[in-house]
């Protein structure tokens, strides 16, 4: 870690661009994220990060639409709950419900855009700031522990790790958000088909709109797949550049 002797050094470190990552790092981190999403035990652990993003999406949408946010709960089974008050119908409630499943890949897309400018440290510090803001709204012990561990890990990497480790960590995290947003939608429909999620976001949206729950599952899936494609294109820039230079 480079010592920071002044506020100017801190600002330069935060906003400064890091060197282009090796194409192999971009590919390797994508494969690591795909492996975590595709395998049972790593997904069971990593899904907590997807839940944090999911509930954060609900919370942000509630605030932006003028609803009163009462709190967020994260559970050890990787489920979560965001409580807000306001009109039980209308655009605000619809957008709040819609935001959950699409939030992880959209956050990943924003991260991919930041990484496209090689602002790796900036991305990590933005993530820490968002986790701290969300921590203020957590209303259960497991949620507090989850946010503290996740935020502490990101802060530790951003502050102490060398640039190569920061890059690997940031790219893996963004790939995971992009890829990890797709699997929960598939799990949602599978559980709905078994009658195990009668109050899912999709079913609640069906109760507020003329469209059936399966329509909203398709909306989640299409948004997340499109976001994955756009985010992957942004992240794969070094790979495409390298291929063009060696062609």
What's the pLDDT at 197? 86
Choice among 20-24, 63-67, 160-164, 243-247 with the minimum mean pLDDT: 243-247
149 occurs within a structural domain: yes
Cβ within 8 Å of residue 96, ≥6 positions away: 58, 61, 62, 65, 67, 82, 84
Nearest Cα residue to 61 out of 76, 72, 47: 72
What's the pLDDT at 187? 96
Confidence check: pLDDT of 189 > 90: yes
d(CA 212, CA 172): 35
**Per-residue pLDDT tens digits for 117-164:** 888 989 999 999 999 999 999 999 999 999 999 999 999 999 899 989
5 occurs within a structural domain: no
Provide the pLDDT confidence category of residue 19 given band limits of 50, 70 and 90: confident
87 occurs within a structural domain: yes
Structure tokens at 178: 């992009």
Q: Is 125 in a helix, a strand, or coil?
A: helix
Confidence check: pLDDT of 48 > 50: yes
179 occurs within a structural domain: yes
d(CA 2, CA 115): 20
For 38, counting Cβ atoms within 10 Å of its Cβ (0-12 exposed, 13-18 middle, 19+ buried), the class is exposed
Nearest Cα residue to 73 out of 9, 151, 138, 131: 138
d(CA 205, CA 188): 14
d(CA 69, CA 3): 40
Q: How far is CA 22 from the centre of its chain?
A: 24
Domain count, the chain: 1
132 occurs within a structural domain: yes
Q: How far is CA 140 from the centre of its chain?
A: 21
Q: Are 107 and 53 in contact (CB under 8 A)?
A: yes
Range with top average pLDDT, 196-200, 216-220, 235-239:
216-220
1 occurs within a structural domain: no
Domain that holds residue 194: 21-240
228 occurs within a structural domain: yes
d(CA 200, CA 95): 14
**Per-residue pLDDT tens digits for 86-115:** 999 999 999 999 999 999 999 999 999 999
12 occurs within a structural domain: no
Round the average pLDDT of the chain to a whole number and report it. 91
d(CA 152, CA 183): 26
């Amino acid at each position: 870690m480079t010592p920071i002797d002044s506020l100017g050094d801190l600002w330069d470190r935060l906003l400064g661009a890091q060197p282009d990552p090796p194409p192999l790092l971009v590919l390797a981190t994508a494969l690591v994220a795909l492996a975590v999403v595709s395998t049972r035990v790593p997904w069971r652990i990593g899904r907590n990060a997807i839940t944090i993003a999911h509930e954060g999406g609900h919370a942000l949408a509630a605030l932006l639409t003028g609803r009163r946010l009462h709190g967020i709960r994260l559970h050890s089974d990787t489920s979560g709950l965001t409580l807000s008050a306001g009109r039980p119908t209308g655009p605000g409630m619809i957008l709040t419900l819609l935001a959950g499943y699409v939030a992880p890949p959209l956050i990943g897309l924003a991260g991919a855009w930041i990484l496209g400018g090689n602002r790796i440290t900036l991305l990590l510090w933005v993530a820490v700031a968002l986790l701290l803001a969300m921590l203020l709204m957590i209303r259960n012990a497991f949620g507090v522990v989850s946010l503290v561990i996740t935020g502490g890990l990101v802060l530790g990497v951003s502050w102490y790790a060398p640039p190569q480790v920061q890059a690997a960590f940031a790219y893996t995290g963004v790939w995971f958000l992009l890829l990890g947003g797709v699997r929960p939608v598939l799990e949602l429909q599978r559980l709905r088909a078994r009658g195990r999620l009668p109050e899912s976001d999709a079913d609640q949206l069906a109760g507020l709109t003329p469209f059936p729950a399966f329509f909203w599952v398709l909306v989640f899936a299409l948004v997340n797949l499109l976001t994955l494609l756009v985010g992957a294109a942004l992240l794969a820039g070094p790979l495409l550049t390298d291929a063009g230079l060696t062609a």
